[in-house]
Amino acid sequence: MKSVSVISLGVLVLKLQSIAAATTTSADRIKSSGYGSETHEIQTQDGYILTIFRIRNTTVDNNSSVRRPVVLLMHGLLSSSDCWVVRGLTDTLAYDLVDSGYDVWLGNARGNTYSGRHVNLTTDDPKFWRFSWHEIGVIDLPTTIDYILEETQQTSLHYVGHSQGSTILFVLLSMQPEYNSKFKTAHMLAPVVYSKYIRELLFELLAVIVGNYSPLDPLLGDSALFQQPILRQVFAIDKCRERLLSPEICTRIVFFIYGGYSAYFKQSLLKDAYDSHPAPASTHQAIHYIQLKVSGYFRQYDFGIEGNRQRYNQTTPPDYNLANISTRFPLHLYYSNYDELSAARDVEKLIGIMGKRVGAHYIPLKNFAHIDFLWASNVKEVINDRILEITNDAEVILQREGLNE
């Protein structure tokens, strides 16, 4: 894999071709919170240029020879590394991890605000958007992991993925089981693997159109999701970003797009949320999820009967083989009953299949929704502290067994 590193401390002015480049970058946000920021660029085998961020604790990181346990945080659909740092210093998992002695990296998938470049294609080319989260799982994620491990001279890391960030981990470990050994703990926030019981209204409506393969799929899919003028107008994205609508209306739109009503989302986050979200993604990513909802299976992208024959040598897409997943510690699944994108019934099906290979963390709070796993007012005690405790315990075990670097 061909990789290029570009490192800067502090503010980085990103010259991206992304169609929705952030005015305030993750690096800016990290610096404004009092931490140092490194920016790294990685080229994938198929030509996408991914930008990832490393958070530095400027008070303790002066000795670069000290190797700290690595944690990679990976965002969900229509998101980016910004999702981990928009809260500033308030109950932010990324900073809690840094302060606890971890070497924290923020990933970005192809096509989003920070990864909108390609060696040959621009975002105006439909071919640029010809991917789903399958490619993010089998190409972007392992490329990112290998780069980080090489850069830090370590052999394994901790992982936290929100929503699609969990999907791609299951894809990677199913398709490339040699990566099982590269994970210490893994924490799946609002995991989306099986999707039959997704209740989100937008997905329900789109399932009628693209739930089964049709000639519309490539026409709709080869474009950036939520960047189409008609969708931006319908969902008033630009009006909310420009503060032309009331906070109450824009908050409701956030709930509609991102998985249901939340009792824990504070309107004080609204400005930063709209400044950074929705981030660009391929429409094929959403179509792939809708296909899972209709089929009830966790399987690869459906290209139609003829397309499947050409690609998979069978008429239906193959299932991801979850039997290949065998990490050192259980994968930890955090879920609730009020998440419209990560339905409890779907997560519990996954728990039943995975058995002892996962640890289940059910959040019993009423109206704790999809975005709350990142931005809830009580996220520290409900989510972050659990992750830190489990991660710290794993480090103690590995140290005792002499398996830690």
> Each residue of 110-143: pLDDT tens digit?
999 999 999 999 999 999 999 999 999 999 999 9
Q: In this predicted structure, what is the pLDDT of residue 224?
A: 86
Q: In this predicted structure, what is the pLDDT of residue 309?
A: 97
Question: Which band of pLDDT confidence, cut at 50, 70 and 90, is reported for residue 61?
Answer: low
The position carrying tokens 């080229």 is 43
Taking CA atoms, 236 is separated from 201, 204, 270, 298, in Å, by 17, 20, 14, 33
Q: In this predicted structure, what is the pLDDT of residue 59?
A: 75
HSE on the CB side for 284, CA within 13 Å?
23
**Mean pLDDT (whole number) for 53-65:** 77
The answer to whether residue 223 is catalytic is no
**Distance (Å, whole) CA 307 – CA 265:** 43
**Residue in 82, 103, 339, 346 annotated catalytic:** 339
Give the CATH number of domain 26-204+224-290+321-400. 3.40.50.1820
Percent of the chain with pLDDT over 90: 69
Q: How far is CA 102 from the centre of its chain?
A: 20
Partners of residue 106 on adjacent β-strands: 53, 73
Q: In this predicted model, what pLDDT tens digit does every residue of 137-162 receive, in sequence order?
A: 999 999 999 999 999 999 999 999 99
Residue 246 has pLDDT above 50, yes or no: yes
**Mean pLDDT (whole number) for 353-360:** 97
**Mean pLDDT (whole number) for 60-74:** 81
**Residue in 79, 81, 370, 372 annotated catalytic:** 370
Retrieve residue 255's tokens: 């709930």
* Higher pLDDT, residue 220 or 81: 81
**Mean pLDDT (whole number) for 43-54:** 98
**Which helix (H) or strand (E) covers residue 308, if one does?**
helix 304-312
DSSP single-letter state for residue 61: T
Question: Which band of pLDDT confidence, cut at 50, 70 and 90, is reported for residue 257?
Answer: confident
Using alpha carbons, select from 228, 24, 181, 2 the residue that is nearest to residue 113. Answer: 24
Partners of residue 157 on adjacent β-strands: 183
As to burial, measured by CB atoms within 10 angstroms (0-12 exposed, 13-18 middle, 19+ buried), residue 97 is buried
Retrieve residue 51's tokens: 């930008």
Q: In this predicted structure, what is the pLDDT of residue 11?
A: 30
Q: In this predicted model, what pLDDT tens digit does every residue of 309-342 receive, in sequence order?
A: 999 999 999 999 999 999 999 999 999 999 999 9
The string of DSSP codes covering 203-224 is HHHHHHHHSS--THHHHHHSSB
Q: In this predicted structure, what is the pLDDT of residue 216?
A: 63
**Residue in 163, 166, 262, 342 annotated catalytic:** 163
Per the prediction, the chain carries an average pLDDT of 89
Q: In this predicted structure, what is the pLDDT of residue 215?
A: 62
Q: In this predicted structure, what is the pLDDT of residue 20?
A: 41
**Distance (Å, whole) CA 189 – CA 163:** 6
Q: In this predicted model, what pLDDT tens digit does every residue of 279-313 receive, in sequence order?
A: 999 999 999 999 999 899 999 999 999 999 999 99
Helix ranges restricted to H, 153-282: 164-175, 201-210, 216-221, 229-234, 237-241, 247-257, 270-276
Rounded to 5 degrees, φ, ψ at 194 are: -80, 145
The answer to whether residue 81 is catalytic is no
Residue 50 has pLDDT above 50, yes or no: yes
- Chain length of the chain: 405
**Distance (Å, whole) CA 336 – CA 366:** 8
Residue 221 has pLDDT above 90, yes or no: no
Query: Would the CA dihedral through 154, 158, 163, 168 be positive or negative?
Result: positive
Taking CA atoms, 344 is separated from 9, 260, 325, in Å, by 41, 13, 21
Retrieve residue 6's tokens: 């570009």
Q: What is the dihedral of CA 107, 111, 115, 121, to 10 degrees?
A: 150
What long-range pairs does 378-385 form, CB within 8 A, spacing at least 24? 378/264, 379/91, 379/93, 379/264, 380/91, 380/96, 383/93, 383/189, 383/334, 384/91, 384/93, 384/96
**Distance (Å, whole) CA 157 – CA 148:** 9
**Mean pLDDT (whole number) for 213-227:** 70
Q: In this predicted structure, what is the pLDDT of residue 131?
A: 97
The string of DSSP codes covering 133-156 is HHHIIIIIHHHHHHHHHHHHT-S-
Q: In this predicted model, what pLDDT tens digit does every residue of 168-217 receive, in sequence order?
A: 999 999 999 999 999 999 999 999 999 999 876 666 666 555 556 666 66
Q: Are 370 and 79 in contact (CB under 8 A)?
A: no
The answer to whether residue 276 is catalytic is no
Q: In this predicted structure, what is the pLDDT of residue 7?
A: 39
Using alpha carbons, select from 311, 333, 384, 340 the residue that is nearest to residue 170. Answer: 333
Residue 64 has pLDDT above 70, yes or no: no
**Mean pLDDT (whole number) for 237-255:** 88
Residue 5 has pLDDT above 80, yes or no: no
> Which pTM does this prediction carry?
0.90
Q: In this predicted structure, what is the pLDDT of residue 167?
A: 99
